[in-house]
Each structure stands twice: as structure tokens, then as C-alpha cells.
Amino acid sequence: MLTGPRRGIGLIRTRGEVRTSSGTYRLVLESDFQGEHDVRSFESHTCQALADAAAVFLAIALEPGLYAELAEPPVDVDEPALVPEPRATEHPPSPAPVLAQPPETLHPGAERPPPANAEVEPSERTAPASRVGMGVLPFAALRLGVGVDYGVLDFASLNILSGVAVTWPRFELGLDVLYFAPRRLPREGPGGLYQGVGGGVRGCVRIAGTPVEVPVCVGVEAGAARAEGRGLTTVTGVQWGPWVRPNVSVGVTQRRRWGGWWIALQVGIGAYRTGFLIGGASAVDAELLSLRLVGGGTLDFHPRR
């Protein structure tokens, strides 16, 4: 039985009883103050822990403000938490300070689960399935251009180029048709009228940008040149000369939704060259290397989705 003053306004009477069962000690602590009867129960594996808990409870009961100044008693990890039983009284007990809970201990490598009411960041939300972009599926493209070629024939000639291609995000495969506009050399006196046609295939790697890209292409062209004598005293008729030229090219293309513009510089090597004799003399002897500068516009046909 313990008695003591409480702020000079009354006495508190306390009675404690210790019981043991299966190596566990149980302290039943009864207190009376100003007609209120309070019963508390504590359990532990050691009597010292029960004594510490009873001392803390009595200190709080005698001086409630003392709880903020008392250091938290050491917690034995092997001992269960001390849970006080509810008061056996008809009147609601005065609220007692709640002992602070020890911080949660996490195992090494474990992650703390997020709070139940925590908002999910936009980056953590499940993103909807992205739609296939316009550049992912292949599409068809038509192109038309005009340029100047030197080397397929032995002089500079005007070219008209048209083609069709299938275009992927990083590659392009195309077919082109060439037309060499007629040109008379020399312009006055005996000479010849020259023109030609051809076609080719090309494969390109598109070094993409937005919206400008740089296509680098390799291909091969083949065709035939036509020569007709003009202003001659002897009739020589019409002559045809075939030619074959592998080539490489680099260019710049700007693409919008339905098309754009392009420009390319091409270098060819005469695998098979053509030449003409006009009036018994050599009039045309094609060069080993050819150079072509050509540019124009494109029209793209994207598949429907």
C-alpha cells in the first residue's frame, strides 16, 4: 500500500499485487483518488521492468506535467509492450498521457510501404497504352525533282526525276525514273542532238530530325542515251548507247504531315559508259565519274488508323 500527496489537494492510495505464471510476472495496481477507483495491469518477464512501469505510472498520477520531463524508460526488445487495462469505474477516467511508440524497425533491404492516403505521383501512375505514332508504320511517298547532271553524257544536261518510295522510321526504299532533256551540240553547224532516259533503285538510311532529316543513300542506275546527227552532209541516223552507274548520295529533306521538300547531291561511277560517233568522229565520250545536283518536292501517303 502506497500513499502520497497530489498537489496538496488530496491523497492517493495505491495497492499492488504481483503474480507469476509460466515465467511471466503480472502486476495488478489499484489506486483510489477522490472517490475514483482505478485498476491497472502490467506484464513483463522481469520484476525490474514492472517496478519501472509502476514508478512511471505513479509519477504521472501524482504530477501530470511531469510526463513531458521524464525520459522514456528503456525498452527491452524481448519484453512485450505494457498495455494498461481499462479502468473499472463508472465515471470516465481523466485522460492520461499516452506513452510514445518506438520508431518502426525495418529489416535491412525492406522498403517502407506508402501511407494508405498518400497520393500517387503522376509519374507512378500506370500510363495508358501509347498509340502508334505516325512515323512507326511505313508509308508511301512520291517525289518529283529537277536537277543538273554532268558525266552520264560528256556535258551538263538538264534532268527531270520522279520516283516512288516506301518509307520506314529510319529507312527508305525507292524507285526512280530519269529523263535527260534534249541538247544540241554544237548549237550551230554540224553536230548532234542528245537526250536519254534511265531508271534506278536506291536504299536510304534516314538520319532523322524534327522536321528536317538527312538521308544517306546508295543505289544503281541504268539507262540509254540517244544521239541524232544534225547539219551533216552524210546521213548517220539515230544511235543508242547504254550506261550503268552505281551511285551514292546525301541530302536534306524536310517533311510535314503530307509532304515537304528535298535536295540531294549524287556521285556516280561509270561501270558501263556510252559514247557516240557523229560524222565519223567521236562526238560524245561519257566520263568515269558523274555528278548530279537535284531537288524537288514530296507527297506522302500515310496509312489510316
CA–CA gap between residue 6 and residue 58 (Å, rounded): 10
**Residue 130 within a domain:** no
- The sign of the dihedral angle between the CA atoms of 265, 270, 276, 280 is positive
Q: Check whether residue 189 and residue 289 sit in a common domain.
A: yes
Q: Check whether residue 154 and residue 86 sit in a common domain.
A: no
pTM of the entire predicted model? 0.54
Total domains in the chain come to 2
**Residue 198 within a domain:** yes
Q: What is the pLDDT of residue 289?
A: 95
Q: Check whether residue 143 and residue 222 sit in a common domain.
A: yes
SS3 at position 274: coil
Q: Check whether residue 185 and residue 294 sit in a common domain.
A: yes
Q: Check whether residue 14 and residue 91 sit in a common domain.
A: yes
Q: Check whether residue 80 and residue 216 sit in a common domain.
A: no
Which pLDDT tens digit goes with each residue over 132-173? 344 468 999 999 999 999 999 889 999 999 999 999 989 999
Q: Which domain holds residue 188?
A: 139-301
83 alpha carbon, distance to own chain's centre = 54
CATH number at residue 182: 2.40.160.20
SS3 at position 49: helix
Q: What is the pLDDT of residue 217?
A: 98
Of 99, 129, 150, which closes a domain?
A: 99
pLDDT by residue, tens only, the chain of 305 residues = 444 444 444 567 778 888 887 778 888 878 777 677 778 887 887 888 878 887 887 777 766 655 445 445 554 445 554 555 555 545 555 555 444 455 555 555 555 655 555 554 544 454 444 343 444 689 999 999 999 999 998 899 999 999 999 999 899 999 999 999 999 988 888 888 999 999 999 999 999 877 899 999 999 999 999 998 887 766 667 889 999 999 999 999 998 888 899 999 999 999 999 888 876 676 788 999 999 999 999 999 988 75
**Residue 225 within a domain:** yes
Q: Check whether residue 94 and residue 144 sit in a common domain.
A: no
**Residue 105 within a domain:** no
Q: Check whether residue 166 and residue 42 sit in a common domain.
A: no
Residue whose C-alpha cell is 517496478? 51
Of 49, 71, 99, which closes a domain?
A: 99
Q: Check whether residue 161 and residue 89 sit in a common domain.
A: no
Q: What is the pLDDT of residue 169?
A: 87
- Give the DSSP H/E element, type plus range, for residue 48: helix 47-62
**Residue 22 within a domain:** yes
Of 99, 130, 150, which closes a domain?
A: 99
**Residue 200 within a domain:** yes
DSSP symbols for 204-263? EEEE--SSEEEEEEEEEEEEEEEEEEES-SS---EEEEEEEEEEEEEEEEEE-SSEEEEE
